[in-house]
Structure 1
């Protein structure tokens, strides 16, 4: 289960990342839930949904899409709470064990939905400017992830996001595909070779990304 200190760390990291992209991010009020819609659709693509052809589920990339979604959910929670971390954290723990929700005139029981149906519900909620921590928790379980797994992968992706910004992502000069693969794929590979519980994990991962990115030029 998610620990209070882990929730605090993720909220702080997300605040820092948003501020790096835009120091006035709270006032700008970017459409974070629109990003959840897009990331949810990408998650469906990684799972496979086309009934007219054979498709294999890419579980690692599907998990990474959930991590991306969590970035935007955290951002939306912080936005709703005017940047205050404590109430945003309280919201997470107040709803993390919910097993159903009311939406579009229906009661949706998460246990009765498969993974694709849960992703569709997530997209629908986000399009309606809503979030559900309970639904996200159910998605984690379907993707064979615990909240501890999410925490470790979130920290890893946060490092990648900082790396992207430091290498021209906002200016359009960063190459998202290098060495013949997307940077997300490089991240998954590199993080497996490092100790995610180490105090130097963030720095070690950043340096590993920097070295591989430099060698690909």
Structure 2
């Protein structure tokens, strides 16, 4: 599958996820339960969670390192909300085309392992993500703004060392897991997030690692098998 088709697939899956979880009026800013939807606030909060994977607190865990794998997962969560925001204004194919046209590289690269030297450049390393947060707080929805938001998102993706295929693979995994959670009672509080002592996110990543070319439907089947093994069948 070429890059254009993969991008369109991600937007289609996100559209379906939003339809299933939020109802048909999510583009108007309201869920089927009557709750306000604010995708840009979601971007801000998920980016804040990403920053928590860095040892930024001067008063706590001073010798801590970086959790790069979690940073990548948070980037995928942010991507869910960036796509949802774009889909408010654009159909799938136009949104995918714009996303492909706005890809940018970063002049900063987050280290895979934390060193003593990295402590002094923390502000530099966090700058792309804080810039994304700042942009998401801007009260603007113009076409030019959407381009700027996308460009900053891609800058962050590059900064963490992710290529397009890795983002696609992790997105497919996380989208499948989100759909799986909804199907098995996540909103109702009956879903079991810990599977034999491991978070479902970890199980999903292990399946992806063992089956790098797995399809969306095949991944859902493997998640079902693992969940049923817990006695949830």
The bucket for the TM-score relative to the shorter chain is 0.7 to 0.9
State the Cα deviation string for residues 176-197 of structure 1 (Å, max 9, x = none): 333323222222122111132x
Q: Secondary structure at the match of 2:64?
A: coil
Q: Aligned pair 1:171/2:172, yes or no?
A: no
The 2-side partners of 1:47 and 1:211 are apart by: 35
Choose which of 44, 48, 58 in structure 2 pairs with 1:51: 58
The 2-side partners of 1:49 and 1:149 are apart by: 26
The 2-side partners of 1:74 and 1:145 are apart by: 17
Choose which of 67, 92, 95 in structure 2 pairs with 1:85: 92
Q: Secondary structure at the match of 1:128?
A: coil
Aligned residues of 1:10 and 1:151 also touching (Cα < 8 A): yes
Q: Secondary structure at the match of 1:145?
A: coil
The 2-side partners of 1:56 and 1:152 are apart by: 26
The 1-side partners of 2:125 and 2:79 are apart by: 17
The 1-side partners of 2:194 and 2:74 are apart by: 17
State the Cα deviation string for residues 120-161 of structure 1 (Å, max 9, x = none): 111111122565222222212221110111111111111111
| TM-score when normalising by structure 2 | 0.77
Q: Secondary structure at the match of 1:46?
A: coil
The 2-side partners of 1:76 and 1:136 are apart by: 13
| TM-score when normalising by structure 1 | 0.82
Alignment of 1:64-79 (within 5 A): 64-79=73-88
State the Cα deviation string for residues 76-111 of structure 1 (Å, max 9, x = none): 000122xx12332232233223x7xxxxxxxxxx53
Aligned residues of 1:43 and 1:65 also touching (Cα < 8 A): yes
Alignment of 1:25-174 (within 5 A): 25-29=26-30, 30-52=37-59, 53-81=62-90, 84-97=91-104, 111=107, 114-129=124-139, 132-174=149-191
- Residue 203 of structure 1, CA deviation: 2.4
Q: Aligned pair 1:21/2:21, yes or no?
A: yes
Larger Rg: 2
Structure 2 match to 1:181: 198
User: What is the root-mean-square deviation in Å for CA atoms of aligned residues?
Assistant: 2.2
**Once structures 1 and 2 are overlaid, which stretch shifts more, 88-97 or 10-19?**
88-97
- Unaligned 5+ runs, structure 1: 100-109
- Residue 19 of structure 1, CA deviation: 0.6
Aligned length: 200
- Residue 33 of structure 1, CA deviation: 1.3
Aligned residues of 2:4 and 2:97 also touching (Cα < 8 A): no
Aligned residues of 1:115 and 1:139 also touching (Cα < 8 A): no
**Once structures 1 and 2 are overlaid, which stretch shifts more, 38-47 or 207-216?**
207-216
